[in-house]
Chains A and B, each alone.
Chain A
Amino acid sequence: MAEDLPLSPEDVEEIVSILSKSDYETLDIATARFRLQVARDSKGWTQEWRPAGGEAGPASGPARVNTETPDDGLLVITAPLPGTFYRAPQPGAPPFVEVGSKVNPDTVVAIIETMKLMNPVHAGVDGEIAEIIPENAGPIEAHSILMKVKPA
């Protein structure tokens, strides 16, 4: 028998009921069997289901996942896990890095938010940011390339 959480339409209704009384705009749930995002926008609440295990998110399809190391002499910074890519510590704050910023292995270059947890992304290399690929606040998959770095 399944030990994980089966969610019925009644459960989704209850989740929305709880969320509407809060300031939260999104709830992400991931189990061994499914992923569910309950979110609110100007039109109202939606429920978006996905197969378990990080399938393609909304505006991106499998074609956009680029995990190949380019052979143009640049180093890459990849996403350690899937989630939402943020360039700044909070909305309105200046981004961690821009193209041209110098980084070293410990420099935080971005945040990936997964299930409400903020995960800092470290550069991991010495060099200068050459290219920033994903859109701010866009969904990204694990191992996809976030930034390219010109080695020091």
Chain B
Amino acid sequence: MPKPINRLFVANRGEIALRVIRTAKKLGIESVVGVSDADVTSRPTAEADDVVLLGAAPSSQSYLNVEKVVAAAKESGADAVHPGYGFLSENVNFARAVADAGMVFVGPDPAALEAMGDKLKARAVAIEAGLPVVPGDEATTAEEAAKVAETTGYPLLIKAVAGGGGRGMKRVDKPEQLKAQIGLAMSEAEAAFGDPRIYLERFIEKGRHVEVQVLGDGTRAIHLGTRDCSIQRRFQKLVEEAPAPNIPDKKHRAIENAAAKLAEHLSYRSAGTVEFLVDGRTFDFYFLEMNARIQVEHPVTEEVTGVDIIEQQLIIADGAPLGYQQRDIEIRGAAIEVRINAEDPESDFRPSPGHVTRAAWPAGEGVRVDSHIRSGDSVPATYDSLIAKLIVRGETRDEAIERLSAALESLRVEGIKTTAPLHARIMADPRFKTGGVDTRFFEGLADG
């Protein structure tokens, strides 16, 4: 099959930049990585074929700067740009600018990015596609909010329309708190996303965060099974696993099919993830949002399906049709990923940037480490704290947990603090071992 993409510009940093470069190498595609001053000696620069300096360390002057990234990509002779996750990956202006500069954006079309980026629009599209959504609606004033709250009840969540990825969410437990929280939410949304719009949703107590990986080529869409990401702290995922455990078959298939249905309804191209809230008791499910990009936790899906999702993104970006039929996708075994962050779990997760004198990551059967951090590297204070993803697969979920616990025992990172000890406690938690925990898990985690 001809591969029109010859030279890929990686518009990201850290482990995902490395991840994209690795698949590009596998496919014989040249890679160029754009870096800020702070990442000039980072591992992606050693593995890419070329390196381009974007600008100073602050993201606004480098990774988040549309003009600089597009210019750097163009000048490097790239014919395609992979945006990774975060940064500009769901920025419609960026996707359009890349296309206008004559390069292929490895991701969905700007229209899909726009539709799914606006969380209200996404809800409307999901309803159109026949998916159930969490009861809720938009509110532009405190009075409107109070009206919506009559439908949602309390507790409720205030979410930013332009938000996503767990950011910009506030929980409101009592009607008296609503007015103040609405005002706060709107100004925070403006500051964080440049859009003050908010909407309200019923807060489902025993909710499980179950998401479905989808792949589409613009005509057909398939799913690659579920992931459970219920273990979160302040709406940020800590642990993810595939497939979602302990869901009755019929409901499980229904969730997967709903996701594929939405992707086809959108004529979705590239990889995406449809997020659902699943009631832990009834297994009723509700559409939450769709992430129109590759996600941090994509490796667990790769481990149980054998599909290289980045490779599929590149193939689809070439204009090729999906290489898989739904019946070709088989979920085998289980995989769990833990996010190793440069944070001190003993000090309220205070960030712990600095010089890593030693990084001995686990290795062995079923063990995969996606990390850009080597012994001697520095973790800059400027970016997010993710330094490694430890992904373990097993023939059964129990085997995966056992292997992951052993892997965490042999992990040694010196010079900075990491969340590895926290993950060891999670693996030992009997509720986790049983499986099917909901988003209240983290609060109930035993100390020490």
Contacts and interface: CB of A to CB of B under 8 A. Distances in A.
B412 A46 contact: yes
Interface string B19-31: 0001001101010
A67 interface: no
A98 B412 CA distance: 34
A133 interface: no
A51 B41 contact: yes
Interface stretch (A2-10, A71-79, A99-107): A2-10
Question: Interface on chain A toward B: helix, strand, loop, or mixed SS?
Answer: mixed
B369 A57 contact: no
A59 B362 CA distance: 18
B49 A49 contact: no
B365 A56 contact: no
A46 B368 contact: no
B361 A8 contact: no
Interface stretch (B102-110, B279-287, B403-411, B427-435): B403-411
B367 interface: yes
Contacts of B360: 39, 46-48, 58
Interface in B364-397: 364-370, 374-377
Interface in A2-24: 2, 6, 8-10, 12-13, 15-17, 20
B376 A1 contact: no
A47 B41 contact: no
A10 B36 CA distance: 30
Contact of A45 (B47, B364, B368, B375): B364
A50 B22 contact: no
A56 B357 contact: yes
A48 B367 contact: no
Given A13-B364, A46-B412, A58-B358, 11 more contacts: A1-B49, A8-B22, A10-B368, A12-B363, A13-B368, A16-B363, A34-B374, A45-B362, A45-B364, A46-B360, A58-B414
Interface of B: 22, 25-26, 28, 30, 41, 43, 46-47, 49, 355, 357-370, 374-377, 406-407, 409-412, 414
